[in-house]
Amino acid sequence: MKIGYVRVSTEEQITDRQFVQLVDICDKVLAEKKSAKNTDRPVYQRVMNMLKEGDTLVIMSIDRAFRNTMDALGEEKKLRERGIFFQILNLAVDTSNADGRLAFTVVAAVAQHERERNAERVKQGQAVAKAKGQHIGRPPVMSPRQIRIAKEKIDRGEATIEEIAALNGIHPWTVTRSIKRLEKV
């Protein structure tokens, strides 16, 4: 039996692209919307528990199933010890033979390297932006003027934090944090 595992990191992301690639070649395809860094991935665990000797786990790309190289190599070893094979479609890697296992090891290391290099590039870009005085991260949901007006209304008892939040379509904690941030300036 071939079991496909599809994963995206957030609820907003769509699994369709991966699902379409796997559905025709797998007996079952299960999808999950959780970060690979999350150790609590119930669908992934369900897939691992479903796999029996002679089965094949199929994924679109290595980063869809594993957090890092050591995780990938460890999971592949556990699968191999159980007599389960592993396929990565976008790389045509199949661990049912020695060449496929070698390719998998190299691919896992390269994927880990790329994740680390990407993180370095992001940090470097953020440092440059910060040095230029640019805002890093998501844009504020309320302008300084909106925050001042909200604080004045709250202070005068004309509105509650919850009412201000509802008017702006945000969580009350965001209003509280925005006011605290404005007070520090």
Q: Which residues are catalytic?
A: 9
Report the C-alpha gap between 180 and 177 in whole angstroms. Answer: 5
| Tokens encoding 105 | 């090891």
| Tokens encoding 34 | 């959780």
| Tokens encoding 77 | 């070893």
Report the C-alpha gap between 2 and 53 in whole angstroms. Answer: 11
Sheet holding 2-8, edge to edge: 28-33, 2-8, 56-59, 85-88, 93-94
Helices (H), 2-97: 16-23, 42-50, 69-81
Report the C-alpha gap between 93 and 103 in whole angstroms. Answer: 7
